[in-house]
Structure 1
Amino acid sequence: MIVDFEQVFTERTPRVVNAAKLLRSAGRKKANLFLAEGENAVEAAIATGAAQDVFVTESAARKFEHLITAAGHMNVYVHPITDRAAKSLSDTVTTTGLFAVCKPVLWPMKDVMRGKPNLVMVPVETAEPGNAGTLIRVADAVGADAVLFAGETVDPQSPKAVRASAGSLFHIPVMRESNFQAIFDTLKARNLQIIATSAEGETSLDDAGELLKQPTAWLFGNEAHGLSPELLAKADVRVRIPIRGRAESLNLATAASICMYESAKEQNR
């Protein structure tokens, strides 16, 4: 697909102005759209039909010619933009110059848990968008069935979260629900055991092999204060990750990666 750069959109062009508003939560909510930046995210958005418009600089059009061609095949509008316009669409210091305006991809509760899920990630009150995106990427990598963001969480469709997911936001069902009880009721209705991570958990991950063979939903706590006593009490089992070195603890993404990998390994033996 050939993009005509004779007349490019500037940062003041209405389409670019409206796309730039998607960098903020209020803008995404009002427009019911979100913005994806970078090769992986834009490629996944185009391939899954989520992308409505693509904005690209001249240098990015040359570098990502295959994606521009794919956008044309999917009847996605491609708009040439200036480098300055690209900066207005990015929340990073160095922009890729490639963006997609996307339809919402978060799933409703009734759809995200259809069928018989075997492995589900439930991050609780996740505050950092980079962590949210990384968790989605981890869940996708291990073959999990869904990611359920519980409580008051960061928006998984925020630019940093989308970028950190590296396209996985478009691959795996993701939902956001503030009502904890609704999530627990749904997990139990699907016959999933609920395992919470806790440094004081009664079961070591080393000894959880047989346990992890069962359909499982993992609860992962907030970055700063973990899981509340109330939520820990609602879990069927509390599991701790053995730390054999001198590190005091593991960060959220690392702990989730270890636990999800162990579950996937046992379920796929």
Structure 2
Amino acid sequence: MVTELIENPKAPRVKRVAALARKKERGETGRFLVEGPQAVRELLTYRPALAEVVYATTGTEAWQLELDRLASDAGVEIERATPQVIQAMAETVQPQGVIAVARIPDATLADALAGAKLVAVMHEVRDPGNAGAVLRAADAAGADAVVFSGESIDPWHPKVVRSTTGSLFHLPVVTESSLEDVVAAAREAGLETIAADVRGDEITDVRAQLRGGIAWVFGNEARGLGEAERDVIGRSIRLPIYGAAESLNLATAASVLLYETAFSQRA
């Protein structure tokens, strides 16, 4: 259903949507923002049950017609708004004409890990771009779930949502405060937990050992994983540096390790 045009950027409902850029508001409402045609398309295609309402500008561009159809098929309300209203709702400086409000899924850690063979765990990862890039790589490598643990950034932060380019809606994503609980749950699900760490075994020596179910744990961008955290995880593996680079950034290292595991599991 399409409603009348929203024209007032200061309207209460506009302010309520904009407030979802804050973690406190997301926690209290159980809702988050999805900005841009690509992300909203993936939401409506893969997780339509999470979509609550779509706000979009008027027009006949291909993405507008497609989102109208997807929303209609999913029974999701579309509210038309001016570009000024969309700007007032958005967290980004240059929104692309559409924003959706979606419910945060209530999947548990046990549900996410059940039957999994490849899982990415981000522990104390703070940068939204890094978090989104790792999640996107996990999706591309065929991972079964992504877990955010410790004081990692909220996966429902608008910047994380945008940087995943829709991958957030392709696989279970859960948060858990305790790394110990994540490791215990992974092992209960039959997964080996492995830390991505420069002090570990070189992957070229252990590639054949990556065929079973594995939960990779990736640490903070600046400091990695501490000794106590590595002890909890139990095993560490590193990527070799063949050139003169000091190190690989988090997203690149995670991408390589996830794909190496996917290759081994499919061999």
State the TM-score bracket (shorter-chain normalisation): over 0.9
Q: Is the 8 A contact 2:14 2:85 kept in 1?
A: yes
Contact 1:107 / 1:175 at 8 angstroms: preserved in 2? yes
1:131-155 deviation per Cα after TM superposition (whole angstroms, max 9, x unaligned) = 2222211111111111111111111
State which of 247, 250, 258 in structure 2 corresponds to 1:249. Answer: 247
* Structure 1 residues 211 and 236: alpha-carbon distance in aligned structure 2, compared to 1, 3 A threshold: farther
Q: Deviations over 1:91-139 (max 9, x none)?
A: 222210111100112521231122x211111111110122222221111
The Cα of 1:251 is off from its aligned counterpart by 0.8
The 3-state SS of whatever aligns with 2:246 is: coil
Which secondary structure state, in structure 2, belongs to the residue aligned with residue 194 of structure 1? strand
- TM-score, normalised to structure 1, is 0.93
| Cα distance in 1 between the residues matched to 2:219 and 2:172 | 20
> Offset of 1:236 from its aligned partner?
3.3
Amino acid at match of 1:97: G
For the 8 Å contact 1:36–1:100, the answer to whether it is kept is yes
Counterpart of 1:215? 213
Q: Matches of 1:247 and 1:92 in 2, distance apart?
A: 33
Cross-structure match for 2:235: 237
Structure 1 residue aligned with 2:92: 92
Q: Which residue of 2 is the match for residue 138 of structure 1?
A: 137
- Unmatched 5+ residue regions in structure 1? none
AA partner of residue 132 (structure 1)? A
Relative to structure 1, the CA distance from residue 59 to residue 231 in structure 2 (aligned partners, 3 Å threshold; closer, same or farther) is: same
Q: d(CA) in 2 for partners of 1:78 and 1:4?
A: 7
Matches of 1:214 and 1:69, distance apart in 2? 42
How far apart, CA to CA, are the structure 2 residues paired with 1:136 and 1:254?
12
2:104 aligned partner: 104
How large is the RMSD of aligned CA atoms in angstroms?
Answer: 1.7
Residues 43-66 of structure 1 show CA distances to partners (whole Å, capped at 9, x for unaligned) of 122122211100111248664211
Measured in 1, the distance between the counterparts of 2:25 and 2:125 equals 21
1:266 aligns with 2:264: yes
Q: What is the alpha-carbon distance in structure 2 between the residues aligned to residue 14 and residue 61 of structure 1? A: 29
| 2:20 equivalent to 1:22 | yes
1:36 maps to what in 2?
Answer: 34
Distance 1:81 1:236 in 2: 52
Which 5+ residue runs of structure 2 have no aligned equivalent? none
Question: Residue by residue, what CA displacement relative to the aligned partner does 1:179-210 show, whole Å, maximum 9, x if unpaired?
Answer: 12211111111221111111121x11112221
Amino acid at match of 1:30: E
1:220-242 CA-partner distances (Å, limit 9, x unpaired): 11011100111112233211111
> Who is 1:80 aligned against?
80
Contact between 1:60 and 1:98, CA under 8 Å: does it hold in 2? no
**Quick one: which amino acid aligns to residue 266 of structure 2?**
N
TM-score by length of 2: 0.94
Q: Distance in 2 between matches of 1:196 and 1:153?
A: 16
Matched residue pairs, number? 265
User: Is the 8 Å Cα contact of residues 55 and 81 (structure 2) preserved in structure 1?
Assistant: yes
Distance (whole Å) between structure 2 residues aligned to residue 9 and residue 135 of structure 1: 38
CA distance in structure 2 between the aligned counterparts of 1:26 and 1:60, rounded to whole angstroms:
36
User: Which segment is superposed worse, 86-95 or 7-16?
Assistant: 7-16
- Give the 3-state SS of the residue equivalent to 1:102 in structure 2: strand
